[in-house]
Amino acid sequence: MLRRAFLTRVPAAAALVGVGQEPLPAARTEPSRHAQDAWYDELPSRHRAVFDTWLADHFSGALGFASNWLRINKEEYGLSDKDLGLVIVLRHGTGPFAFNESIWTKYGKIFAGRMAAADAKAHPNPTTNVYAARMAAMAKQGVHFAVCNLTTRGYSRTIAEEAGAGDADAIYKDLTANAVGNAHFVPAGIVAVTRAQEYGFALVSGG
């Protein structure tokens, strides 16, 4: 009698505490897609990475690691450019590196005086785009550059005020018309970093 009474109580108790029940799956939400980000879909999807950069004196290292990512994927995994989707985000202190040498000839000193760096005294900002050729070569390998529009607009206003080189809108058009290959002017670099992850890009922080 006692044994039967105990066994009849166990299922009821189990039901109360949820023992033996499978948890309900959490509702899964997918990120929204926006027209400004559609270009991410144009890049290869077999392997994807996004390098976030924002300090001028760390940019060389970021480009070096990005180059290593490409090289090792090719040498050790037998992959090609068509397999590798790589985006480098240029924002804040690295934004001006998105522009070609003709722009730097005009505004290089202003860029150098304004670009954020971890230690500008130890590693002064350049007054020419010392990375232009390197970035052009990477663009030929299929690398794309997400350029912060907030940064670009900010420099447009600064140049208009400091250099008296015309109105900010005209300077903005000049900057965007002289960008490196495979450049995309995104609404904000920090947003581009998060959007890239939503499109399946693994994040690498380049400083």
Q: What is the pLDDT of residues 116-170, one digit of tens each?
A: 999 999 999 999 999 999 999 999 999 999 999 999 999 999 999 987 767 999 9
Q: Retrieve residue 81's tokens.
A: 């450019």
The answer to whether position 143 is within a domain reads yes
Alpha-carbon distance 72 to 17, whole Å?
Answer: 52
Separation of alpha carbons 148 and 164, rounded Å: 23
Does residue 20 sit within a domain? Answer: no
DSSP helix/strand/coil, 147? strand
In a domain, 22, yes or no: no
For residue 103, is it within any domain? yes
4 domain-assigned: no
What total number of domains does the chain contain? Answer: 1
Tokens at 149, concatenated: 């529009």
- Give residue 176's pLDDT: 98
Give the helix/strand (H/E) hosting 52. strand 47-53
Please give the Cα distance from 93 to 57 (Å, whole number): 9
Beta bridge partners of 185: 147
* Assigned token pair, 6: 């105990």
Could you tell me the two tokens for 37?
A: 């980000």
Is residue 15 a part of any domain in this protein? no
Domain contains 28: no
Per-residue pLDDT tens listing for the chain (207 residues): 444 444 445 444 444 444 456 666 666 778 999 999 999 999 999 999 999 999 999 999 999 999 999 999 999 999 999 999 999 999 999 999 999 999 999 999 999 999 999 999 999 999 999 999 999 999 999 999 999 999 999 999 999 998 776 799 999 999 999 999 999 999 999 999 999 999 999 999 998
SS3 category, 123: coil
* Residue 153, domain CATH: 3.40.1260.10
Per the structure, the complete domain to which residue 130 belongs is given by 38-205
Q: Is 29 exposed, middle or buried (0-12, 13-18, 19+ CB in 10 A)?
A: exposed
Asked if the structure places residue 68 within a domain, the reply is: yes
**HSE of 204 in the Cβ direction (CA atoms, 13 Å)?**
18
